[in-house]
Amino acid sequence: MRAHLVYAHPEPKSFCAAMKDTAVTALAEAGHEVTISDLYAERFNPVASGADFVMRRDPRYLSYALEQRRAIEWDTLAPDITREVERVLAADLLFLVFPVFWFSMPAILKGWVDRVFLSGMFYGGRRFYGRGHLVGRRAGIVASMGAREHMFGLKAIHGEIEPMFRHLTRGTLGYVGYNVLEPFWAFHVPYISDEERRRDLDRLRQHLAKLDSLPVLPVPDLSGYDAQCRILFAGDMREP
Amino acid sequence: MRAHLVYAHPEPKSFCAAMKDTAVTALAEAGHEVTISDLYAERFNPVASGADFVMRRDPRYLSYALEQRRAIEWDTLAPDITREVERVLAADLLFLVFPVFWFSMPAILKGWVDRVFLSGMFYGGRRFYGRGHLVGRRAGIVASMGAREHMFGLKAIHGEIEPMFRHLTRGTLGYVGYNVLEPFWAFHVPYISDEERRRDLDRLRQHLAKLDSLPVLPVPDLSGYDAQCRILFAGDMREP
């Protein structure tokens, strides 16, 4: 299997960098071919704009998704986008490795999604969720955060963790068709001991060693919806 | 009252730009003083990095939140951050105006949050949610999206809309203490008629005219939690 990691942390000596290195090693040891996009090191530009297209279908009015669709046809995407798209399409497994900023990805990684998950290729029309372009592939999240584990839960201060990150798991990775693996979270990272951090890296190794048995978050199977995505019958969730 | 709009769309003739203009006019007509950050026009840099601090407490290892706290003390924040912080602190009302990208903000706006909502000022230690720095102020979302309204709901294809955007409403605006107003959503924007878009702008005017009667999303009152944010008693939600 080919695994691609998209990693975004501004500090090369951070715990998040150690998670990235641990993941690269663990996946390689499991026999996967591993590639990586190191967004800070590569100074990735996260701002979606008209400059993302070498030639524009309409230079007077920017409809970003329409330009994406035309640029795929014409092969006129900016080179940095083309490079990232090829990396993603070559991989059976995608991992996003990042520090949680505001219950989501750092902007540099959010912009990687904005610019790389192309309309007309990754999704489009009725091709999303269970019919997204990446159906059959798997995606995972490996993330560190300041919050403690007990801060998540039904009555806990942040509420349940799944809805807090649903925009990313279901709304982004699931939307383009990935089977979304149960995320790996390292909690309270800035406040714990080195010993505890080493245990988190061990836990990450174990997590990556059992990819085939990890729970997968369900995404909707589109069969329960009509052409306008109205409910036809009680929404089935895809069992991968 | 002072209202500050943070607006992020790459196309100045877009419907989202029209929502921004409509909001500016409606808020001014209601007697508010209105300021605006136009992130694309100002070429705002959304990437949090060590360059955000004119002087570093530790130039060898970047702990972003610790650098933020020190930079507040030393007054060594990068000038673009200082300018945005001042704009936010001067305003009783904050509105984020944006096109939904992946059930969240475009990266340029996500990075505005990452860099401007400073640790040690907007939040820190036990000062978040009902004790965040901006308690008593109100924040709203004015956003356009491609999805149809009927795609959201308990059995609908995207599930309920509140959890899909919870990272932003509760996890970001609520986290720093804002009373988060019920969001204004313009649905299915690229596919509807100009007449329908005009109706959406009318609906936005009405929305902004009744700010005082809009529902407010509840955020946790910290009184139900101990010093480590463990649950002491069934979590109260703050009633603003």
Q: What is the pLDDT of residues B117-151, one digit of tens each?
A: 999 999 998 899 999 999 999 999 999 999 999 99
Q: Is A50 exposed, middle or buried (0-12, 13-18, 19+ CB in 10 A)?
A: middle
Chain A environment of B105 (Cβ under 8 Å): 110
Rounded Cα distance, B231 and B236, in Å: 10
CA B113 to chain A, closest CA, distance in angstroms equals 8
- ipTM, interface predicted TM-score of the complex: 0.96
Q: Please give the pLDDT value at position B149.
A: 97
Which A residues 77-116 touch B at CB under 8 Å?
A: 101-108, 110-111, 113-114
* pLDDT 10s digits, A8-59: 999 999 999 999 999 999 999 999 999 999 999 999 999 999 999 999 999 9
CA dist., res. A64 & res. A53, Å (int): 9
Question: Averaged over B152-171, what is the pLDDT?
Answer: 96
Of A114, A148, A230, the CB nearest to B107: A114
Q: Select the residue from A9, A47, A67 to test the B interface by mutation, using most B Cβ atoms within 10 A.
A: A47
Portion 168-187 of B in contact with A at CB < 8 A:
168, 170-172, 175
- Domains of chain B from N-terminus onward: 2-224 (3.40.50.360)
pTM of the predicted model over 0.90: yes
Test B102 with A117 for CB contact under 8 angstroms: yes
> To the nearest 10°, the Cα dihedral for A62, B38, A117, B64?
160
| CB nearest to A155's CB, from B159, B167, B231 | B231
Q: Give A120's contacts in chain B (Cβ within 8 Å).
A: none
